[in-house]
Amino acid sequence: MLEVKDIVVRYGRREVIHELSLSVADGEVVTLIGSNGAGKTTTLKSISGLLRPVSGSIVFDGERIDTMQPHDIIARGVVQVPEGRLLFPDMSVGEHIELGGVRARSGGRTYSERVDWVHEMFPILLERRDQKAGTLSGGQQQMLAIARGLMANPRCLMLDEPSLGLAPIMVDLLADTIRSLHEAGITILLVEQRVDLALRLAHRGYVLETGRVVLEERAEVLLEDPRVKAAYLGA
């Protein structure tokens, strides 16, 4: 479904992604793991069109998207839920959900069906539909960020550090949400600071170091890899 091939990305003159390649098959959950500064968020931004690779290609469902504008990429079904949520503090919960549907992919669930779906998934958002996003708890804000992304009717949902700042009970809820989205047929590309959680949720994983893929394997294999244990699991 998604094929990233040999992309190079620069910030100004500084090259930060070095001929990186990865793939995500239809229906897979794939995770990118690595330390801060490894290039995980930059990779997601490149896929979503917020950064333009200087070389290489990004293909989604047989169509090259690395030359497209972000809103056109969203309309094709590739949607990113950004690190830090990036909500508008003075906008209400309901306005965020409405905003998420503006550039939605055609086909699949109708707008009203998606509204019902996200409210069924996150009932608290229906209760607080008139509340300003900036007054929600961290967990509720993450629910809203995911709901906004789902309103775009994604085929491939990219989640960037969704557990950041969440209490343990909310992390468990987040894991259940990701499993439910996968069961609903959504392909997921996950960047997650909790490497053990990410690998338990994923089918496959890529390990990034300084803008390069240094390891790719099935998630259960990476969980037992001594290099991954030493670097990311404290073992």
Nearest one of 84, 90, 91, 38 to 209, comparing CA atoms: 38
Q: Which domain holds residue 169?
A: 2-88+154-232
Q: Does residue 113 lie in a domain region?
A: no
pLDDT at residue 235, rounded to an integer: 57
pTM (2 decimals)? 0.93
pLDDT in tens, 55-103: 999 999 999 999 999 999 999 999 999 988 899 999 999 999 999 998 8
How much is the pLDDT for 122?
94
Q: What is the CATH number of the domain that holds 46?
A: 3.40.50.300
- Is the residue at 138 inside a domain? no
**114 located within any domain:** no
In-domain check, residue 220: yes
> Is residue 67 domain-resident?
yes
Burial class of 91 by CB neighbour count within 10 A (0 to 12, 13 to 18, 19+): middle
Q: How many domains does the chain have?
A: 1
CA distance 84 to 21: 26
Residues of the chain falling short of pLDDT 70: 235
Give pLDDT, residue 166: 86
Tell me which residue of 154, 145, 224 sits closest to 189, measured CA to CA.
154
- The residue length of the chain stands at 235
Tokens of residue 8, six digits? 């190079």
135 DSSP assignment: G
Asked if residue 143 is part of any domain, the answer here is no
The answer to the question of residue 117 being in a domain is no
Dihedral, 78, 81, 168, 191 alpha carbons, nearest 10: 60
- Any domain includes 145: no
